[in-house]
Amino acid sequence: MKQFIFLCLFITTGFAQTYAQGQSINKEARKLSMALYAISNLYVDPADEGKLAEHAIVGMLEKLDPHSNYLDPEETKEMTEPLEGNFDGIGIQFNMLTDTLYVIQVIPGGPSEKVGLMAGDRIVQVNDTAIAGVKMKNTDVMKRLRGPKGTEVRVKVKRNKEDELIEFRIIRGKIPVYSLDAAYMADKETGYIKLNRFAASSADEFREALAKLQKKGMKNLILDLQGNGGGYLNIAIDIADEFLEKDRLIVYTEGRKMQRENANATAKGGFEKGKLIVLVDEGSASASEIVAGAIQDWDRGVIVGRRTFGKGLVQKPIPLPDGSMIRLTVSRYYTPTGRCIQKPYEQGKQDEYNQDLIERYNHGELMSADSIHFPDSMKYNTLVSNRVVYGGGGIMPDVFIPVDTTRYTDYHRKIVATGLVNRISMNYLDKTRESMTKKHPTFAAYKKDFEVGEDIMQDLIALAEEEKIEFNEEEYNRSKPLIKLQIKALIARDMFEMSEYFQIINEDNPSFQKALQILSEKNTYILALD
């Protein structure tokens, strides 16, 4: 009840001076309050007033647009932690495979590394509670491992072939959450940086990676935003600023009650010269589209991949006193040419909106650029080369890369979805870690010499049969090169770092390979911007 009354007061007092129709809002707020009061005092059965208030808020927001929403306290925490860049915990990356928690990586300098926890360890018990073999969700495991900084958590670990469990007492600490997955030299002159989100620390992470690559001789850059669903608007502006000359418009926002606000580049850009390619796909959204749109509009670099998601609405977080939050759309953002890249939607029809990516696939868009049609009203021209670009539905790349459907089979999808590819990688390394480390002491040696053998593949087939996944020889043979590459990449991740995973997996990334080709051919890069 208190939450609902607060919302009513928030509406009637906080916005009263802003809205000319304040009296109307007062009237509607009283109406909602009376309905809740009647239910609370007259309804035949007991009613949870807090839940009713939440349902009322959710119902109102659902009638607005696809991105205005309500988050309960737990959802608010889960959403903000990755974007804020840190949380309190023990400092490991883990996977739950067949009811067992495998430690994939131990964060350098974190609490777990300090006490001697290692990659490959299997945590079977937390504070006297068994977590192995009990079908526990990842979120439940995280609740047991996370906690306030300075508090203790006891874990028991099974390590390699040792019979006895090893107990560790770990003092929780502040754990950084990194948004930069990989940064490495793809060739002698080309650097590669992959961002998975635009979090509070992303701009600093990006600048640090950029500086390291430049010291290694980087002249060209591939910025990978594939699957990057966005994050903070100001961080997108900060990163786009690294590529654009002073005073060039990056993005502007405007709404019915929000005046236009321009964000311009400063003089601090760390990569304003040199060839630049940005990789995008249908999973690149929001902040990713701001960066890609600014680079495309100023003809600063080549956008490679597939049409982006198309989210051009800006949400303002409105915290509520119980830790919950409303994320309310208050404006749209526009690229420098004036494009709003928000894809079409109808108010209150979120289901149709959420089916958009499936519709793109069904219409053949992910396989052929010819299936994409923009109306002439959405046509714009870039600001330097006067090239035609489009708004109203994501950023259309300069160079289209279709989805390669030849090796993605139902058999492959099933073994990936059930975690078997990950499991077989962990199982293999669990048995051979000591010999693998001796044989491949460096990543260069591993990448050059290690091959996924038939013994591993046969173990995978056997595991799939245990999981009631029917073997299909034709589909298996089609997907086999891809499966072997994924296993090799996963083993590299567990032996070394996430960057090494991408160095292997990118060997089969058509967008990445096309980017290297464009950069190596001077005329191809220039023509892509003409």
- Residue 51 catalytic? no
Instruction: Please check whether residue 286 is in contact with residue 229, taking contact to mean a CB–CB distance below 8 angstroms.
Output: yes
Residue 423 is encoded by which pair of tokens?
């499991």
CA-to-CA distance for 304 and 510, rounded, in angstroms?
10
Find tokens 């992470």 and name the residue: 205
Q: From 155, 147, 98, select the one nearest 121 (Cα to Cα).
A: 155
CA 363 to chain centroid: 25
Find tokens 């309190």 and name the residue: 88
The DSSP-derived string for 228-274 is ---B-HHHHHHHHHTTS-TT-EEEEEE-SSS--EEEE--S--S-SSS
**Hey, what amino acid is at 248?**
R
Task: Say how many Å lie between the first and final Cα of the chain, rounded.
Answer: 61
- Residue 63 catalytic? no
Instruction: Please check whether residue 427 is in contact with residue 477, taking contact to mean a CB–CB distance below 8 angstroms.
Output: no
Indicate which residue of 311, 343, 488, 514 is catalytic: 311
CA-to-CA distance for 206 and 239, rounded, in angstroms?
8
Instruction: Please check whether residue 333 is in contact with residue 253, taking contact to mean a CB–CB distance below 8 angstroms.
Output: yes
Find tokens 């490679």 and name the residue: 304
- Residue 204 catalytic? no
Backbone angles phi, psi at 226, to 5 degrees: -65, 130
Q: From 149, 153, 139, 150, select the one nearest 94 (Cα to Cα).
A: 139
Q: From 188, 395, 381, 193, select the one nearest 302 (Cα to Cα).
A: 395
Find tokens 């007062």 and name the residue: 26
Indicate which residue of 297, 299, 398, 494 is catalytic: 297
Indicate which residue of 286, 324, 425, 499 is catalytic: 286
Residue 503 is encoded by which pair of tokens?
């160095």
Query: Catalytic amino acids?
Result: 286, 297, 311
